[in-house]
């Protein structure tokens, strides 16, 4: 039975990998059509490298802020050392750079679970909370920016769709947390009573690993994160992280001479982040420049200029993480070979994980 499950998992992974590479090829073909490489190289040579350096610093800093946020989210389950969180985040970024389908989220979760002794299920749950908070902030940012920047109709429709999805997800999360809060408080106030044999048998059955028990344990973990005092500084870090990334992209725009506003950088970053969230090639190769050009088209930036800038920004903001991520991998005790093996086995491990809130 496990062999069939592994074969099915490999088949799904292969299909997603092919889709990711196919998307990258399509994006590159569109980008390089009518692309004037000599002009782009001239624009890159004239870039102001002081702004480039400042942009790289803010981009690197943003992932340090992400590690701090992660530390706060995991505070209800154990004291996470900041250096371990930073190392895990950069190691995950490196995995995303060299492997398709963004396995870095699983890898960084495994590294923190292993180093800090926290259940892998709870760590993965915290990553899910990160994504939900990021979605809320992205939706709110797009709503604010639309008040100051005239967006095309298709972007406004996308913003409305994002807003509806975000509100539904938030409503579900709030209802779950309130339900668990009432349920747990009811158990606390209830008077202990003698258990019958049938109740003992039911408790023994519930103690056995099952999908329902795992789901309930993960919901309890969500409740613990959402009601802990450390959740509020985590939200603050969630605001600081995209701010650093917007500053980084705006600095790249300044270095390239685009002359766009800070609000324009917010819109372009939102488009990029939404675009690269779908399965794609390693390091978002192809998809990052494509969605960067798509975001710049909102502000009528000519395609050749936008393509040259997208490639320039992609290289400038990606290369530092190759070195930082590789150093983090070595500090974690992994070689490139063991990293490949670990990344390949992590999806199957998550199927069999046990959650202990």
Report pTM. 0.82
* Pair 89, 108: CB distance under 8 Å: yes
CA distance 46 to 298: 24
Nearest Cα neighbor of 60 from 287, 319, 351, 352 is 319
Task: Enumerate the domain spans of the chain.
Answer: 35-351
User: How high is the pLDDT of residue 198?
Assistant: 43
Q: What is the pLDDT of residues 16-58, one digit of tens each?
A: 777 777 787 888 888 888 888 888 888 888 999 999 999 999 9
User: In the chain, which stretches have pLDDT less than 50?
Assistant: 1-2, 4-6, 188, 190, 192-193, 195-209, 354-357
pLDDT at 53: 97
For residue 195, the model assigns a pLDDT of: 45
Which are the contacts of 24, defined by CB distance < 8 A and separation ≥ 6? 280, 281, 285, 286, 287
Neighbour-count burial of 232, counting CB atoms closer than 10 A to its CB (0-12 exposed, 13-18 middle, 19+ buried):
exposed
pLDDT at 199: 43
CA distance 98 to 190: 54
User: What helix, strand, coil percent values describe the chain, rounded to 5?
Assistant: 80, 0, 20
- 173: Cα within 13 Å, side-chain hemisphere: 20
Q: Are 152 and 298 in contact (CB under 8 A)?
A: yes
């Amino acid at each position: 039975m496990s062999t069939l499950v592994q074969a099915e998992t490999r088949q799904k992974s292969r299909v997603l990998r092919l889709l990711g590479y196919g998307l990258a090829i399509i994006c590159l073909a569109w980008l390089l059509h009518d692309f004037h490489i000599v002009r782009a190289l001239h624009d890159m040579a004239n870039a102001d490298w002081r702004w480039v350096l400042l942009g790289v610093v803010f981009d690197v800093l943003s992932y340090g802020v992400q590690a701090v946020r992660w530390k706060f989210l995991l505070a209800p389950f154990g004291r996470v050392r900041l250096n371990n969180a930073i190392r895990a985040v950069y190691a995950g970024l490196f995995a995303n750079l060299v492997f398709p389908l963004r396995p870095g989220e699983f890898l960084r979760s495994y590294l923190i679970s292993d180093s800090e002794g926290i259940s892998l299920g709870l760590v993965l749950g915290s990553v899910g909370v990160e994504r939900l908070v990021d979605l809320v902030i992205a939706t709110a940012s797009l709503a604010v920016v639309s008040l100051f920047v005239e967006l095309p109709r298709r972007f406004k429709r996308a913003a409305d769709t994002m807003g509806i999805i975000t509100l539904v997800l938030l409503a579900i999360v709030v209802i779950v947390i309130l339900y668990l809060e009432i349920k747990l408080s009811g158990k606390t106030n209830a008077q202990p009573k003698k258990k019958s044999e049938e109740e003992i048998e039911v408790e023994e059955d519930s103690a056995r690993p099952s999908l329902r028990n795992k789901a309930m344990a993960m919901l309890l973990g969500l409740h613990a994160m959402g009601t802990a005092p450390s959740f509020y500084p985590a939200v603050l870090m969630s605001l600081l992280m995209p701010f650093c990334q917007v500053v980084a992209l705006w600095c790249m725009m300044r270095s390239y001479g685009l002359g766009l506003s800070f609000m324009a950088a917010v819109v372009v970053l939102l488009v990029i982040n939404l675009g690269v969230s779908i399965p794609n090639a390693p390091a978002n190769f192809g998809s990052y420049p494509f969605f960067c050009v798509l975001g710049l088209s909102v502000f009528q930036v000519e395609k050749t200029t936008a393509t040259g800038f997208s490639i320039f920004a992609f290289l400038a903001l990606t290369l530092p993480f190759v070195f930082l991520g590789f150093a983090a991998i070595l500090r974690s005790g992994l070689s490139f070979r063991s990293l490949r093996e670990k990344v390949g086995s992590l999806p199957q491990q998550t199927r069999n994980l046990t959650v202990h809130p």
